[in-house]
């Protein structure tokens, strides 16, 4: 028997929780499906903080300008303006809801990060900002009696009827069997796809299933070729690629090569505070120049008490691997971190598929352009999660929850081998190809070879999750092959210049060739 609710939210990060709260305050019944525990998301792992205009020497115009510069000419200015102006309101609301940001003498502490012209980064518990976001939003969501948080419910596909998204098919965590749930609309907040790469800072749940489900259901995807690689992930053998936050460089951390030389001056006058794409490529160039697999982050100019207080989680993790961040050089190298592309939406979270809304990293609103400005991601999830929830509530007043007995259209995923398990063999193969041929440095030959290998993988008898994974890899590689220039997070060694002809958003849709759009508008 199928279930019914007013709205379905897939994902329980900052965007999903904020959308759910917005829907519930409008009196709606909201079912939140998440494939792990409610707190497990990319939000949980966000260390650096949240960028917001709150200090007297800062303005929305300055924040907007910094975002546009980082976005390398591909930001939608209306989206950026929305982010920076509404962000202040929603952060103040979070504080009212009990979110505990770091303070000194009662005043909020504002940190500095790369490519920001002001100290505008709020942190919580030093380097656990994302975890504090999730804690406070879950606490706020639990106040709303109409929100039903359902963990360990793995969504398989979207249900489409008469060209409208009306529900989802998911694996019921109690029955351990596929089940359907119908609603007025679905809000996709499943985060990004960092797990596509061999080296990533993302948690294991970040496999991009939400993007793939939307794509198979007919929604347009935009800017999939733009992937941000974080410059400084801890690089130790037999250890996960633990993120060493941008804020460490914001506090004066220096990058050095194996000879102990500070090297960023050879690549960019902004040194360690250059945009992430530049720092990542600079590190790759320096590793190649010196024949090494790491460079080193040096924080030893600070005393141990300061670092232990400012970066408690990082201090603890490094210490568990025998590294003291106040005394030792920390081996680092880049790792995949954030997807600028995703489900194409307007500024209210509406996708090109009626009934499907989306917010957060799973989307492409145009707010990040070709390269996300550090610490704008939590703000994006908060602002556009609220906007998507409000739009879905308003639009939903025109619809009834559909009858679950009527026949629905079958997206392509329903014709596949059922199952939500991502094959280990498929995952390993795709991750290696993505890292080697669709990574920080790209060229035509590598991209063509990658697409051929993905086609070969896709020709097998795959589960839904495996098919989702390889499909997303193909979308990134196809976008990268189409974009014959270098811009932001996308760098082609055979097309090293930024070209005005490609000041366009790439748009991909199932069964269609890549097209382009001048602007993603609101």
Give me the pLDDT at residue 413, please. Answer: 44
Is the pLDDT at 175 greater than 90? The verdict is: no
Q: Where are the strands (E) in 266-412, listed by range? A: 295-298, 330-339, 342-344, 356-358, 363-364
Question: Which phi and psi (to 5°) does residue 353 adopt?
Answer: -100, 115
Give me the pLDDT at residue 40, please. Answer: 53
Q: Which helix (H) or strand (E) holds 479?
A: helix 464-482
Determine the angle formed by the axes of helices 377-396 and 77-96, rounding to 10 degrees: 90
Give me the pLDDT at residue 409, please. Answer: 52
Local confidence band at 277 (pLDDT 50, 70, 90 cut-offs): confident
* Percent of the chain residues topping a pLDDT of 70: 93
Query: Per the structure block, which two tokens stand in for 25?
Result: 């305050």
Identify whether 276 is a catalytic site residue.
Answer: yes
CA 434 to mean position of chain CA atoms: 17
Instruction: Write the secondary structure of 207-218 as one string of H (helix), E (strand) and C (coil).
Output: CCHHHHHHHHHC
Handedness of CA 414, 420, 426, 430 (dihedral sign): positive
* Percent of the chain residues topping a pLDDT of 90: 80
Q: What is the maximum span of the chain, computed from C-alpha positions, in angstroms?
A: 69
For 446-450, what is the mean pLDDT? Answer: 98
User: How is residue 366 annotated by DSSP?
Assistant: S
Local confidence band at 1 (pLDDT 50, 70, 90 cut-offs): low
Query: Per the structure block, which two tokens stand in for 111?
Result: 């940190």
Give the integer Cα–Cα distance in Å for 274 and 476.
25
Pairing of strands 7-10, 30-33: parallel
Query: Per the structure block, which two tokens stand in for 157?
Result: 């596909």
Helix, strand, coil percentages (3-state) for the chain, rounded to 5, are 35, 20, 45
Q: Which residues contact 502 (CB under 8 A, 6 or more apart)?
A: 483, 484, 485, 487
Determine the angle formed by the axes of helices 464-482 and 444-458, rounding to 10 degrees: 160
Is the pLDDT at 408 greater than 90? The verdict is: no
Query: Per the structure block, which two tokens stand in for 281?
Result: 């490529």
User: How is residue 355 annotated by DSSP?
Assistant: T
Give me the pLDDT at residue 24, please. Answer: 97
Give the integer Cα–Cα distance in Å for 50 and 429.
35
Contact 47, 247 (CB under 8 A): yes
Give me the pLDDT at residue 422, please. Answer: 81
Write down the residue that tokens 């007013």 correspond to: 6
Give the integer Cα–Cα distance in Å for 110 and 124.
11
- Catalytic one of 120, 169, 276, 372: 276
Beta bridge partners of 51: 121
Answer yes or no: pTM beyond 0.95: no
Question: Which phi and psi (to 5°) does residue 62 adopt?
Answer: -65, -45
Give the integer Cα–Cα distance in Å for 346 and 521.
6
Q: Where are the domains of the chain?
A: 232-336
Q: Where are the strands (E) in 38-106, listed by range? A: 50-51, 103-104
**Fold topology of 232-336:** Flavocytochrome C3; Chain A, domain 1 (3.90.700)
Local confidence band at 131 (pLDDT 50, 70, 90 cut-offs): confident
Q: Which residues contact 156 (CB under 8 A, 6 or more apart)?
A: 168, 169, 170, 171, 178, 213, 413, 418, 420, 464
For 115-137, what is the mean pLDDT? Answer: 88
Is the pLDDT at 416 greater than 60? The verdict is: no
Return the CA Rg of the chain. Answer: 22
Q: Which residues contact 136 (CB under 8 A, 6 or more apart)?
A: 94, 97, 98, 99, 100
Q: Is 145 helix (H, G, I), strand (E, B) or coil?
A: coil
Average of per-residue pLDDT values in the chain? 92
First to last CA, the chain: 39
Give me the pLDDT at residue 239, please. Answer: 83
What secondary structure does DSSP assign to 371-400, as a single string? Answer: SPPTT-HHHHHHHHHHHHHHHHHHHHTT--
Local confidence band at 240 (pLDDT 50, 70, 90 cut-offs): confident
């Amino acid at each position: 028997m199928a279930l019914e609710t007013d709205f379905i939210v897939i994902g329980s990060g900052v965007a999903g929780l904020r959308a759910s709260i917005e829907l519930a305050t409008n009196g709606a019944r909201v079912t939140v499906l998440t494939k792990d525990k409610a707190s497990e998301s990319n939000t949980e792992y966000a260390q650096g903080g949240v960028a917001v205009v709150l200090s007297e020497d800062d303005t929305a115009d300055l924040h907007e300008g910094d975002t546009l510069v980082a976005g390398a000419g591909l930001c939608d200015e209306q989206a950026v303006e929305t982010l920076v102006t509404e962000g202040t309101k929603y952060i103040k609301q979070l504080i009212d809801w009990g979110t505990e940001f770091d303070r000194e003498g009662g005043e909020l502490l504002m940190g500095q990060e790369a490519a920001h012209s002001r100290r505008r980064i709020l942190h919580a518990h030093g380097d656990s900002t994302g975890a504090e976001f999730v804690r406070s939003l879950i606490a706020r969501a639990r106040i709303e009696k109409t929100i039903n948080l359902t963990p360990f419910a793995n969504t398989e596909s979207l249900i489409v009827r008469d060209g409208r998204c009306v529900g989802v098919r998911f694996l019921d965590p109690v029955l351990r069997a596929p089940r359907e749930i119908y609603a007025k609309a679905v809000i996709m907040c499943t985060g990004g796809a960092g797990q596509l790469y061999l080296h990533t800072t993302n948690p294991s749940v970040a496999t991009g299933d939400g993007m793939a489900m939307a794509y198979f259901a007919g929604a347009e995807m935009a800017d999939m070729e733009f992937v941000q690689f974080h410059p400084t992930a801890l690089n130790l053998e037999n250890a996960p690629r633990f993120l060493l936050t941008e804020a460490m460089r914001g506090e004066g951390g220096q990058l050095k090569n194996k000879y102990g030389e500070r090297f960023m001056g050879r690549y960019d006058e902004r040194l360690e505070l250059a945009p992430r794409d530049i720092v990542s490529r600079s590190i790759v160039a320096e590793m190649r120049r010196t024949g090494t697999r790491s460079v080193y982050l040096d924080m030893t100019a600070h005393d141990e008490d300061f670092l232990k207080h400012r970066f408690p989680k990082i201090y603890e993790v490094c210490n568990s691997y025998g590294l003291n961040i106040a005394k030792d050089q920390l081996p680092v190298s880049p790792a995949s971190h954030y997807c600028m592309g995703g489900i194409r939406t307007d500024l209210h979270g509406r996708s090109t598929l009626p009934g499907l809304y989306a917010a957060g990293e799973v989307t492409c609103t145009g707010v990040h352009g070709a390269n996300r400005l550090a610490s704008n991601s939590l703000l994006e999830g908060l602002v556009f999660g609220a906007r998507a929830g409000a739009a879905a509530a308003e639009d939903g007043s025109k619809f009834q929850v559909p009858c679950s007995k009527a026949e629905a259209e079958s997206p392509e995923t329903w014709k596949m081998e059922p199952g939500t398990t991502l094959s280990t063999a498929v995952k390993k193969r795709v991750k290696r190809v993505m890292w080697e041929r669709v990574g920080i440095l790209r060229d035509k030959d590598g991209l063509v070879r990658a697409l051929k290998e993905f086609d070969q993988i896709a020709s097998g008898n795959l589960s839904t999750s495996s098919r989702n994974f390889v499909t997303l890899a193909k979308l990134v590689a196809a976008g990268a092959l189409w974009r014959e220039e270098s811009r932001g997070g996308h760098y082609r060694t055979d097309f090293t210049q930024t070209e005005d002809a490609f000041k366009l958003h790439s748009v991909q849709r199932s069964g269609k060739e890549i097209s382009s759009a001048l602007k993603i508008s609101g």
